[in-house]
Amino acid sequence: MHIRARPCNIHGSIPMGGAMQRNRCLLAIAACASALAGLPAAAQTPEVTLTRLDCGTDAAPRDVARFSDTFAYKDLKLPFTFSCYLIKHGDEYMVWDTGFVPGSNPNAPKVSLVDQLAQLKLTPGQIKYVGISHYHADHTSQLPSLAKSTLLIGKGDWDAVNAPTPAPGVNAAAFTNWITGDGKAEPVTLDKDVFGDGTVVMLDMPGHTPGHHSLLVRLKEK
């Protein structure tokens, strides 16, 4: 948007007829200011940062052949790393996935999610959103530690954890706080622009589970 304006003298003495011109100038300036206020300002977009949190590591390498439909990984074994993420959007925080509970199995992390947040000088109460990619235990087991956060979860997975008899692999127990209504849940049907400015977007990618989502985080270029 381009705004062009004729130069106006709004200071000093006002010649005959100048009062009308001055009023026109002031109106023009007010109109320009109003137009500029309505423009999206990149400089006003809150800063977004992304921090990886440790949510577990495979105790032993695993076969990865099933991850290629062209059989590219035949006989290949690799250790998996389970990651959770802290997203800072201005003064607001979101956690994406929560991982295993420490000590629950050989793949679990050594340090809890709460303790990792404490190392960053944060408390669970400061986390506005906890987003879940899908309902499996390696992504959801520490959910209860963020009971005050608004849960963001794909609608298909939300329906699955609320089923009278959850299917095998559905870690419904981790969602008890939200299933009972003690916590706020927002089932996500398609994509969701979490903070409303396009910087953090949940992307609908069903398949692995009915409501599986990925998270797109747009960071400032350096």
CB neighbour list of residue 145: distance below 8 Å, 6 or more residues apart:
98, 112, 113, 114, 124
- Given a cut of 60, whether residue 184 has pLDDT beyond it is yes
Residue type, position 133, single letter: S
Tokens in use for 171?
Answer: 């870690």
Tell me which DSSP letter residue 180 carries.
Answer: T
**Measured between alpha carbons, how far is 7 from 21 in angstroms, rounded to an integer?**
11
- Given a cut of 50, whether residue 12 has pLDDT beyond it is no
pLDDT tens-digit readout, 155-175: 999 999 999 999 999 999 999
CB neighbour list of residue 33: distance below 8 Å, 6 or more residues apart:
none
Rounded to two decimals, the pTM is 0.78
pLDDT tens-digit readout, 103-155: 999 999 999 999 999 999 999 999 999 999 999 999 999 999 999 999 999 99
Contact indicator for 213, 188 with CB cutoff of 8 Å? yes
Contact indicator for 91, 127 with CB cutoff of 8 Å? no
Of the candidates 177, 134, 183, the residue with the CA atom closest to the CA atom of residue 157: 134
- Given a cut of 50, whether residue 32 has pLDDT beyond it is no
- Given a cut of 70, whether residue 89 has pLDDT beyond it is yes
Contact indicator for 129, 194 with CB cutoff of 8 Å? yes
**Measured between alpha carbons, how far is 91 from 88 in angstroms, rounded to an integer?**
7
pLDDT tens-digit readout, 42-66: 557 899 999 999 999 988 999 999 8
pLDDT at 45: 82
Give CATH for domain 42-217.
Answer: 3.60.15.10
Of the candidates 182, 176, 114, the residue with the CA atom closest to the CA atom of residue 145: 114
